[in-house]
Structure 1
Amino acid sequence: MVTASRVQLTVLRGRDDECRALRSLLDGVTDGGGALLLQGEPGSGRTALVGYAHRYAQNCTVLAGTGLAEEAALPYAGLQRLLDPVLDRMTALPDEQRRLLRRVLAGEGCPADRRLTLSMAVLGLLAAVARERPLLATMDDVDRGDPQTAQVLAFVARRLRHLPVAVLLTADVTTTVDGIPAHRLRPLDLRDSMAVLTDRLSEPPTAPVATTLAMVGGGNPQALVDLADVLTPGQCRGEEQLPDAPPVDGALGRAYRARLDRLPPETRRVLLLAALDEGGEPGTLIRATGTEVEALAPAEVAGLVRVESQGVTFPQPLVRALIASSATLAERRTAHRLLAGVLVADGQRLRRAMHLAAAAAGVDPALADELEEAAVGGADGWATASAALRWAADLSDEPTRTAARLLTAAQYAWAGGQPDVARLLLARLRLVCRDPGVRGRADLLLGELELRCGTAARASARLLAATAKVAGTDRALALSGLARAGEAVCFAGDQYRYAEVGRRASALRRPDDPPAMELMSSLVTGVAATLRGDHERGGPALRRAVVLGGRLTGPAATPTALSCAAAAGLVVAVDGAAHRLADRAATVARDRGELSMLSRALELRAVAEYWLGRHEAAAETSRDGLRVARATGQVNCANVHLGMLAVLAAVRADRDATLGRIREMGEAPTAGSRPHALAGWALAVLDLVDGRHAEAADRLASLARLGTGRGQVLVQVMATPYLVEAAAHLPCRPTATAALAVFDRWASSTASPLRRALSARSHALLAPRGGPEAEQEFQRALRLHPTDAGTFERARTELLFGQELRRSRRPRDARTHLHQAREMFTLLGVGRWAEQATTELRAAGESVGPPDLPAARLLTGQQLKIAELVAEGATNREIAARMFLSTRTVDHHLRNVFHRLGIRSRTELVRAFATERQVGLASDR
C-alpha cells in the first residue's frame, strides 16, 4: 500500500480525454466513488494511465495490482496480491466474512454458494480502509489474471456510489464488464505520434522521417517508443531505409510474441500465412495449408485476427507486421512459396510474383520481368507496385534494367504518398546508373520531392537543371518539370526568377503540341506575363489553359494537368472554373490513389472556395488537405493548408484558432515563403479586427516588395483589400496606394465582378472622408458584388459603407447598410463582425437587441442536427458516433453553433431550443 500525493504529471500524448476522465473520477471520490474500465491494445498506454492515476490521486490510499498470465490458473491470486497490504484491517469485518476471506486468500478456494459473501467481504474491507482517507484500487491487465479476481472486482466496482472508493481496471479491447463505464484507447493521431517520437529521440527526426515512423507505428505509443529506441542517426536524418515494423525484441514485440507462443502450432502456421497474404481470402489459406480456416479460432479469441466470410483481417495493422517479423527467414520463405503455389489459378499475377520474389535467394531475370509486367500502371496500388519493382530491381542482372526499375519504383512510391521510400530508391539509382537521361528524370522527381517535402528554393534550381537534361528527348516531361519549377519559384517568394522559367517554356513550345502539353506551356507563359504586369498577354494564355483543362479526358486528365489548369483559373480569376478543375483533380487523384498530388489539388480547391465566399467549405477542404499532406510527409503542402486555415479563422475573427494554426507550423516556413506570408496575412487581419491599423498595414506591406519580384506577390494581391482597409486609418499610405494599383490592373484584366467590387471598395476607403467620391465607389462596389458568391465580402462592404455614412453625420442612411451587414454576418456565423455592426448601429442612434432569427436560418443543416442532439442531452462522443463524425469535427461545429446563436454553453443552448420550441407551439396555436 502506498500513499499518493500530487506531483508534476508526465505528459501522455493523445490521452487528454482519458486523463480528464481519471481526474473526474478521483476529484469526486470523497462525495461518492465510482469505477472505470480502460480498454486498449497492448502498448496503447493502459499502464501509463494507471501510473497517471496513481500520481494524480491526492490524499488517497492506493492499492495496486496487476493481472499475471502465470497466475491465471490460481483462483483469487490477483486479489491476494491486491489486498495483502491491508489484510490487518480484516478485523473490521463480520466474523463470517473475515473467516471466508482469510481462507480464500490462503488458497482454499470459495464454494459457489459463498461467492456473494466473499464479494461483500472485499467490499467491506475496502470501505474500512477508506474510512481514514479515500481509496484508489487499480488492477492493470485484469483480463490476464485469474477470472475469479476479475469477477469479485467487478462486483465491488458496481457498488461504490456511497463509498469514498475509486476502482480503475484495464483490459484488452475484447473485455467488457457489465455495469462499469468503459473507455477505449484509440490510436494516436499523426501529430501526437510525431510528438512521441520527438520526445523520445535526442536528435529530432526530419519531418518526413517522423511522418513515416508515425505511420509505421500505427498510433500505438509503445510501438513508437520501440521504433525510436532502435533508430540510427542515418535513419533519423532520412539517409537510410526506415524500419517497416516495430522491432521484434521491443516491448510491444515481446508482448505479442508471448501471445503467439500460447497459440497451438497449427494456428501459428496459418496465422503466418494470413499475415503474409495481403489478399486475406479464406480460400487461399485453406488451399495453402490444407486445413480449414477454423484453425485461426484461438487467434481470433486472443484478439489477433478477425475471421469473416469475406476474409481474414487484422484489427491492428501492427499485428500483421509483428507476426511476419517474428517468424524465421526459413518459415517466411516456406509460407511465401505455399501462397505462390495456390495463387496460380486465381489470376493474382502480381501477388504470386511477389510471393515468389520474397522466397527467392538470388538473381532471377525471368521473375524480374514478370514482376515488372504485372506492376505496370499500379493497378494493385502504387505502394504495392513500387514494392514489386524494388523486388524486380534486386532480381535483375543488368544495371540498365536495374536503374530503370528503381526509377519507376520511386515514381510509384511517390504517387502512393511514400516520399522517403522514393528518396531511398533514387539514392540507390544514383549508385548504379550513369545514363544522363535516366538521371535527369530522377532529378525531376527529386525536385518535386523537394518542392513538396523540403526546401522550395533548392527545388527550383534542381528542377530547372533537370529539365535541361530531358528537354532534348522528352519535351512533355520537360514542360511538366518547368511548371513544377515555376510553382517552386512562387512558393519560395522568388517570382523574379519566373521569367527564366517562362523563356524556357516558350523555347519548348510547338504549334502542334497535344492539349496537355499546350496547357503546361500556356500556364507558364501566362503566369510569367502576369507577374511582370503584362495582363494583356497573360490573361489570354491563362484562359486558354483553363479551356484546355476542361477538355481533357481519359489518361490525359491527370491530377497534375487538371491542377495546372485550376491554378491558371485562379490567377485569371475564373473562380467557378478553377473550383471545378481543382475538384476534378482531387477526385481523379483519389480514384487513382495518387496521394502525392491530392494535397495540392485540395489546396487549389480551398483557394477557389475562399474567392467564392464559401469559407466553411474552404476550411473543410484545407483540413482534408492537411490530413493528406501530413500522412504523405508533404510538410510544405501541410504548412500551406495551415496558413490557409489561419487566414480563414482570422477572417472570422477567431483569435485562438488562428494562433493555434500558426503555432502548428512551427519554425519550418522560411521568411518569404507562401506559408510564412499566409501566417502574416492572418495575423494582420487579427490586428485589423483589434484596431491596430498601423501594425496590420506593416505586416501586409511586408508580404512582397513591389517592383522587385521578391516575396509573395500573389498572396499580397489577395490580401490587398485588407491592406487598404488598414491604411485608410493612417495619415501616410503610399504602400497601400501602390498595392492597390497592382490589384486594379489585375482586377480590370479579369471578368470577375468580385475583384472589381473589392477594387471599388478599396478606392472608397482611400477617398476623402465624407466626399462624393467615397459614396460613389461604395455604391459601385455594392452593385458589382455578385449575389451568388462572396456574401462575406458584401457584408464587409455594407459595414464599411455604414461606418463611412455614420462618421459623415448621416446616421439614418448608415443604419440601412449596417442592418444589412449585421444580418448577413449573423447568418454567416461570424459573431465578431456582427458585434461590430451592432456597435455601429448603436452609435448611429438605434437600440439593438440580439438578432431575432430562428436557429434553422442561422445554422447549416449539420450544425442544426448537432445542436438538436446537444439539446436532447447527447455528449459530443455520442453525437460523433450517431453522425459518423470525429469528436473533433463535432467540437468544431459546436463552437460555430455557439458563435452563430450568441451563446456560451450547452446549458444556454438547451434553454434556447426550449424557448424556440415554445414559440413555435404558440404560433401553431
Structure 2
Amino acid sequence: MALRDRRSECEALDRSLKAVRSGESRALVVRGEPGVGKTALLEYLVERASGCRVARAAGVQSEMELPFAGLHQLCSPMLDQLAHLPGPQRDALATTFGLSNGDPPGRLLVGLAVLGLLAEVAREQPLVCVVDDVQWLDRASAQALMFAARRLGAESVAMIFASREPGEEQESDEEESTGLQELVVGGLPDEDARALLGSALPGPVDARVLDRIVGEARGNPLALLELPRGLTPAELAGGFGLPTTMALPKRIEESFRRQLAPLPADSRELLVIAAAEPLGDPVLIWRAAQWLGIGHEAAAPAVAAGLIEIAAQVRFRHPLLRSAVHRAAGVEEWQYAHRALAEAIDPDTDPDRRAWHRAQAAAGPDEDVAAELERSAGRAQSRGGRTAAAAFLERATHLTLQPQRRAERALAAAQAKHQAGAPDTALELLSAASAGPLDPLQRGRLELLRAQIAFTVSRGRDAPPLLLRAAKQLEPLDVRLARETYLDALDAAIFAGPLAGCNGLQETAAAARSAPPSQRPPRAADLLLDGLAVGYTDGFAAGIPTLKRALVAFRSPDLPEEEGLRWLWLTCRIARALWDEEAWEAIVTRFLQLARETGALSVLSLALSARTIAHVFAGELDAAEALGDELHGVTEATGSPFVPYGGLMLAAWRGREEAATDLIDTVLDEAVSRGEGLGLTVTGLATAVLNNGFGRYEEAMVAAERAGEHPEELNASTAWALVELVEAATRIGMPERADDALQQIAKSTGASGTDWGLGIEARCRALTSDGYAAERAYREAIERLGRTRVRGELARGHLLYGEWLRREGRRLDARVQLRTAYEMFTAMGMEAFARRAERELGATGETIRRRPAETGGELTAQEAQVARLVREGLTNPEIGARLFISPRTVEYHLHKIFGKLNITSRRQLRR
C-alpha cells in the first residue's frame, strides 16, 4: 500500500513487527484526527505482517453499550486455546463469552485472562492484534485490552490501537490508553497534500480553488480525497464553497452523505442494515435484508461506488462512512434496520443480541421488549456480565411505561451500574427510580444505594450520615439489612475519622448501638457491629469480649464469601487495634486470598494495602514492596483513585525520605479533598516514624501529636502514633507529655493482654522510667516482642535499650543490643533506623564493617519478585496471575534469573 509522507510512521510499525518476530512484545497507540490515515497505517501493518497471525477488531458506536463486544471480535477466533489457560482465567473468559455460567469475573481477572490467551496463541506464531476506532470500543473491552497491552513482555505479541485525538468526539474512557507508547499522526505536508488532491480531482481546477481545498483540509488525506467528491465541475471551477464553520470530521461525513444520495433506495437501505450490524456478518445482513424485501442486486451500486466491500466480512470504506450512513438514515429507517436484524437472529443461539436490536428498534415504551431485556440482564449476571446486565436494565427502564415497574427497573439498573463501576449513571437512574411509586423496602434500598455510592466515590465525611439515615429507614423492614447498613456507617465513619464532624464516630456508634438485636446465633458481622458500638460508646475494654468473638468468627472456614469481602478490611483494623498480631496475620491473609480468588477489584486494593502494612510490621519490607506492582495494576484496572496507605508506611519504615515525603503530600491532599480523615492520622503516623528513624525528634513529636489529636481507642493508627510520641517526647525532654500518651496507650494494651500490646507498653514505660525499673521494662519489652511477628518493633526495642545502656555508661552491654538492632534493621531494609543504630555503635567505640556491594548478579525488581514467588512454591501461571504478567514472561524472567544466579532449576532457587 502506497502511503504519502508516512516514512517515520511506517518505520515505527516495522520496528514493532521486527521486535515481535524476535520474541518480544510491543503495544502502540496510533493517534490522530479522523481521516488522517490511521486506518491506512493499520492496513500497512497487516500487509507487512507476513509469518504472523493477525487478529482484528474495531470499535462501533452502536455497540458501545454492549460490554465485551469488541473483545468478542478480537478473541472469538482464539477460543480453541482456552483450555491452556489457568482455571480461574479460563472460567472468566468462558463466562464472559457466554460459553458457561458462573460467578461474575472481575475486570482484573478478565484482563489477565486476555493476556494469557494472547500469549498462548502467540506460542504457535507471532501475534499481531489490530484494533481500530478505540474511541468507540465498549468500556469493558477497552479496559481488558489496554490492561493486557500494558503488561506485555516476552510473548511475541503486538497490540496496535488506532484512536482519535483526546476530545474529538471521544465517547469511551480516554484514560484507558494511558501509559502506552503513542504514535501521533499529523497532516500531510503541503506538497504531498497537493499531489494527493490532484489524484482525486476529475479534471483541471482553478488554482484559487485548489489552494482553498488544501488549506481547509489541513493535510488530512481523507478530506483531500473525499471533500471534492460529489462537487460539480462548475463548483470546482467557480469556487469551493463548503462552510468553513463545520468541523473537519463533520465535513468529511457530509461528503460521504452526498455520495449516498445518488444510490437507489434499496441500496441505501442495505447500507443502513450493514451500519447497524457491527460484526459485518454477511449472512445475517442478507437475512435481514430479505426480511425487508431487499434483493442481492441492491449491493451492486454501493460496491461500484466503492462505499462497501462484501466478502467474508462486510466492510465500509471508512468508519466515518458508517457514521454518515447512520446519520443520513431517518429514525424510522434506522429502527426498521434493527427490527430486521432482530428478526434475522436466532433467538435460541443469540437471544441477548436479538433483545438489544429489538430495543433499538422500539419506537416508544414496549413492555414485551423491556421484559426480554430484563431476561437478558439475568443471563448476563449468571455468566458474570455485570456491565452487560447494567446496560440491559438501563434500556429496559427507558422502555417501561408503567410507573411502578419503571421505578423497580430503574432501581435494579442503578444497583447493576453501581456494581459495574458507573456511579454517575447509577445516580441518574436512582433519580428516575425515586420519582416512581416504591414500597417502603424499595425506598429504603434506594437510600442505601445512594449512600453506598457516596462511600465508594469518596470515602469521606458525606457517607456516614447517609448510611445512618438508610439504616434507620430499613429497621422496621429488614433487620438484617439494617444492621449491615449500620456496620457500613461505622466503617464509613472510621474512614472519615477526625473529618467526620463533631463527635461523628461516637454519634454513629451510638446510633448503631440502638439497632434491633440480631438473630441467634449472631453472624460474624453482627458480633463486629455490637462490639464496635459498645467499644466506641462505653470504652475499649467494654467492647473487647465481643470483638474477640468477632475475630474468631471471621477466621472461620465457613465464613460466606460475600461477608468476608465486605467486612474483612474492617476486621483487620480491629485485630490491629486489639494488638492481636496472630489474628491480624490470619485475617489479612484470608482477605487477600479471597479478594484475589473472586477477582473482587472493589476490595482487592484494600486487601493489598492491608497485607502491605502487615508485611511492614513483620519486617518483610521486600515482600511489602513486591505488592506495589499488583496494587498499581488493580487501581489501573478499576480506574478509581486509591490512597496508598500501605506504600506510605513502607516508605516511612524504609527511611526513604524523598519517596515518603512525596507520598505524604499526595495522601494528605487527596484525603483532605475527600474528607477522609483516616489520611490525616496515617500521614501523621508515617511522618513521625520517618523522623524518629532519622533522630529528628522535634519533627516526630509535632507529627505524632497531629496524628493523635483525635484519640480513638479502636484506631490502631492513633495508638501507633502515641507510641511514636512517647519516644519523641522523652528524647526532647517532655516527660509529662510522654506520660499522658503512655496512659492512653495502656488503656488498650492492658485490656488486650497480648504480647504485642504488653511489649509495646513495656517499651514505652521503659522510656519514661529510670534505673532498674527502666531496664526491667526494656527486657520485658524485648522478651514479649520476641514472641511475635512484629520484627520491626522488636528491633526498635533493642535499639532503645542499647541507647539507654550507652547513656548509662555500660558500653559493652550497649554494643550487644545495638549490634543486634543494626543487623536486624539492615536485614529488613530499614535504612534510617539502621543508620541511627550505626551512629550509636560508633559512640560506643565500635566500627561497622560493611560488606562489599555485590554488583555482578543483581536481579531487577521484577526478577526478584519472580524469584521470591518461586521460593514460595508458586507455578508460572500462578506467578503470572499474582504479578499481572503472562506465564511466558515469567519463563523469560526465570531464564535470566538462572543465568544471573548461576543455577539451572527451580529447586536450586528455592534452596
Gap change, CA 1:696 and 1:218, over 3 Å in 2 = closer
- Which of 29, 42, 46 is the equivalent residue of 2:31? 42
Residues 864 and 333 of structure 1: is their aligned pair in 2 closer, same or farther, counting only changes over 3 Å? Answer: same
Residues 68, 435 of structure 1: CA spacing in aligned structure 2 closer, same or farther, 3 A cutoff? closer
* 1:674 CA displacement: 0.8
Contact (CA 8 Å) 1:417, 1:595: kept in 2 or not? Answer: no
Shift in Å, 1:760: 1.9
The equivalent residue for 2:732 is 730
Q: CA deviation at 1:357?
A: 1.9
For 1:467, the equivalent position in structure 2 comes to 471
Q: Is the contact between residue 755 and residue 785 of structure 2 (CA under 8 Å) also seen in structure 1?
A: yes
Once the two structures are superposed, the pairs formed by residues 675-754 of structure 1 within 5 Å of their partners are: 675-705=679-709, 713-750=715-752, 752-754=754-756
How far does residue 538 in structure 1 lie from its aligned partner after superposition? 1.2
User: Distance between the aligned counterparts of 2:437 and 2:841, measured in 1?
Assistant: 73
Distance in 2, matches of 1:453 and 1:622, equals 23
Matched ranges for 1:212-611 at <5 A = 214-215=175-176, 275=278, 337=339, 340-341=342-343, 344=346, 347-376=349-378, 378-379=381-382, 380-433=384-437, 435-454=439-458, 456-494=460-498, 496-510=503-517, 512-513=519-520, 515=522, 518-532=523-537, 534-549=539-554, 550-553=556-559, 557=563, 559-585=565-591, 588-589=594-595, 594-611=600-617
Q: Could you tell me how far apart the structure 1 residues matched to 2:251 and 2:180 are? A: 18
Please give the residue correspondences for 1:860-875 in structure 2 after superposition, counting only pairs within 5 Å. Answer: 864=864
Distance, in Å, in 1 between the alignment partners of 2:322 and 2:630 is 28
- Asked if 1 retains the 8 angstrom alpha-carbon contact of 2:28 and 2:181, the reply is no
Q: Which residue in the other structure is 2:871 paired with?
A: none
SS at match of 2:850: coil
Q: State the Cα RMSD in Å.
A: 5.7
After superposition, the Cα gap between the structure-2 partners of 1:682 and 1:553, relative to the gap in structure 1 and judged at 3 Å, is: closer
Quick one: distance in 2 between partners of 1:858 and 1:764? 42
1:865–1:644 CA distance, 2 compared to 1 (3 A): closer
Aligned residue in 2 for 1:758: 760
Amino acid at match of 1:696: A
The answer for the alignment partner of 1:796 in structure 2 is 796
Q: Distance in 2 between matches of 1:819 and 1:751?
A: 30
Asked if structure 2 preserves the Cα contact closer than 8 Å seen for 1:650 and 1:683, the reply is yes
Report the CA distance between 1:493 and its aligned residue.
1.9
Q: Which amino acid aligns with 1:827?
A: A
Aligned pairs for 1:123-134 (under 5 A) are none
After TM superposition, the structure 1 = structure 2 runs for residues 54-203 of structure 1, keeping only pairs within 5 Å, are: none
- Could you tell me which residue of structure 2 aligns to residue 851 of structure 1? 851
2:568 and 2:591 in contact (8 A); partners too: yes
1:689 and 1:334, CA in 2 relative to 1: closer, same or farther beyond 3 A?
farther
CA change 1:811–1:533 in 2 (3 A) is farther
Identity %: 27
Gaps of 5+ in 2: 1-11, 16-25, 45-129, 133-144, 152-163, 185-245, 260-266, 300-310, 869-879, 904-911
Deviations 1:261-295 (A, max 9, x none): 99x999999986774x6xx999989998999xxx9
Separation of aligned partners in 2, 1:319 and 1:365: 34
Contact 2:778/2:797 (8 A) holds in 1: yes
Q: Which residue identity lines up with residue 565 of structure 2 in the other structure?
A: P
Q: Distance in 2 between matches of 1:452 and 1:602?
A: 17
For 1:538, give the aligned amino acid: G
2:646 to 644, 647, 658: 644
Residue deviations 1:682-724, cap 9 Å, x none? 22233323332122112211223357x69x9542113232222
Deviations 1:419-458 (A, max 9, x none): 2222222233233356544333222122222223236222
**Map of 1:764-913 to 2, 5 A cutoff?**
764-768=766-770, 771-786=771-786, 789-851=789-851, 864=864
Distance 1:428 1:744, change over 3 A: same
Provide the C-alpha distance between the structure 1 equivalents of 2:721 and 2:325, rounded to a whole number of angstroms: 54
Task: For 2:834 and 2:249, locate their aligned partners in 1 and report how far apart those are by CA, in whole Å.
Answer: 54
SS at match of 1:462: helix
Q: Is the 8 A contact 1:44 1:222 kept in 2?
A: no
The answer for the alignment partner of 1:667 in structure 2 is 669
CA displacement, residues 770-824 of structure 1 (integer Å, 9 cap, x when unaligned): x222222222122112466222222222222222222222221222222222222
Q: Deviations over 1:398-437 (max 9, x none)?
A: 2122112212222222222222222222233233356544
CA offsets 1:199-257 (integer angstroms, 9 cap, x no match):
999xxxxxxx999663499979899xxxxxxxxxxxxxxxxxxxxxxxxx988999999
SS state at 1:473 partner: coil
The alignment partner of 2:731 has SS state of coil
Relative to 1, partners in 2 of residues 1:38 and 1:559: Cα closer, same or farther, differing over 3 Å?
A: closer
- Matched residue, 1:897: none
Distance in 1 (alpha carbons) for counterparts of 2:803 and 2:257: 73
Distance 1:68 1:420, change over 3 A: closer
Aligned-partner residue type, residue 811 of structure 2: P
* 1:531 partner amino acid: Y
Instruction: Map Cα deviations across residues 710-742 of structure 1 (whole Å, 9 max, x no partner).
Output: 9x9542113232222211212124343323222
Give a deviation string over 1:552-588, Cα, whole Å, max 9, x none: 4556545214445444434334444445445544555
Partners of 2:802 and 2:817 within 8 A in 1: yes
Q: Distance in 1 between matches of 2:320 and 2:784?
A: 61
Question: CA, structure 1 residues 848+652, in 2 after alignment: closer, same or farther (shift >3 Å)?
Answer: same
TM superposition score normalised by structure 1: 0.59
Looking at structure 1, the residues matched to 480 and 545 of structure 2 have their Cα atoms a distance apart, in angstroms, of 22
Give secondary structure in 2 for the equivalent of 1:214. helix
RCO higher in 1 or 2 (8 Å CA, sep ≥ 6)? 2
Change (3 A) 1:556 1:448: closer
Relative to structure 2, which stretch is displaced further, 480-489 or 357-366? 357-366
Which digits, 9 at most, give the CA deviation of each residue in 1:336-371, with x for residues without a partner?
A: 556645654655544442343233222121222232
Aligned partner letter, 2:175: A
Moved more, 600-609 or 453-462: 600-609
The 1:859–1:465 alpha-carbon spacing in structure 2 relative to 1, beyond 3 Å, is same
User: Aligned to 1:432, what secondary structure does the other structure show?
Assistant: coil
What is the distance in 2 between the residues matched to 1:591 and 1:721? 36
Kept in 2: contact 1:444–1:463 (CA 8 A): yes
